[in-house]
A and B are shown apart, each in its own frame.
Chain A
Amino acid sequence: DQQVKQNSPSLSVQEGRISILNCDYTNSMFDYFLWYKKYPAEGPTFLISISSIKDKNEDGRFTVFLNKSAKHLSLHIVPSQPGDSAVYFCAATPGAGSYQLTFGKGTKLSVIP
């Protein structure tokens, strides 16, 4: 049973437009959420995170929104750039002494020039 779900395996967006990547979770114990970016044959690199006490966190072109009641979070990239093309993983952790990350399956983003 997948506790972190990314239901869109792929997404194509025109350069300059907004990319919205979605993530749903089922475990109500999760209280810290992270987004990672991954290129082929490389490990994931951290992008942005959000704690459950917040509903929004922004870092440059990247904004993560969290809707706790819906157990849903989303990553917005605006404006999208060709270099953003990668696989994006949503991850969650219960925190509170647990260091284990649970990942979604990832969404492959293609930004078309």
Chain B
Amino acid sequence: GAVVSQHPSRVICKSGTSVKIECRSLDFQATTMFWYRQFPKQSLMLMATSNEGSKATYEQGVEKDKFLINHASLTLSTLTVTSAHPEDSSFYICSVLTGYGYTFGSGTRLTVV
């Protein structure tokens, strides 16, 4: 299956700043990537579907102006949390769908202080 690299694995930022999370598909050209968020003891919730070369599709309740997604190439999608607030602190995970199924990145633990 595909290898998905996510960076950084952990980030702490100040309230009001922006944070960029990268998701790379190392051996598969991914036209579609998915971004999930997981709060403690909760399920992984799909935030948005990232489409290469076009706009991302956001799930209901997810602010597209706050969570900026860029999928400029077949191997890279980025999620930028803009003007971060403490309630944005969460575990963010990306996923790639290949012919073998879904492969997930290792996740990014974001803490906003």
Q: Report which A residues bind B (CB closer than 8 A).
A: 2, 4, 9, 34, 36, 41-46, 49, 89, 99-106
Contacts and interface: CB of A to CB of B under 8 A. Distances in A.
A44 B97 contact: no
22 contacts: A2-B43, A9-B41, A36-B104, A41-B9, A41-B10, A41-B109, A43-B93, A43-B106, A44-B104, A45-B104, A89-B44, A99-B49, A99-B97, A100-B34, A100-B46, A100-B49, A101-B46, A101-B95, A101-B102, A103-B43, A105-B41, A106-B43
Given A99-B97, A103-B36, 18 more contacts: A2-B43, A4-B43, A41-B10, A41-B107, A43-B4, A43-B6, A43-B106, A45-B104, A46-B1, A46-B101, A46-B102, A89-B43, A100-B46, A101-B34, A101-B44, A101-B102, A104-B43, A106-B43
A42 B43 contact: no
Q: Of A2, A41, A44, which is in contact with the most chain B CB atoms at under 10 Å from its CB?
A: A44
A49 B41 contact: no
B28 to A, nearest CB: 14
Nearest to A100: B46
- Size category, B interface: 20 to 34
B43 A49 contact: no
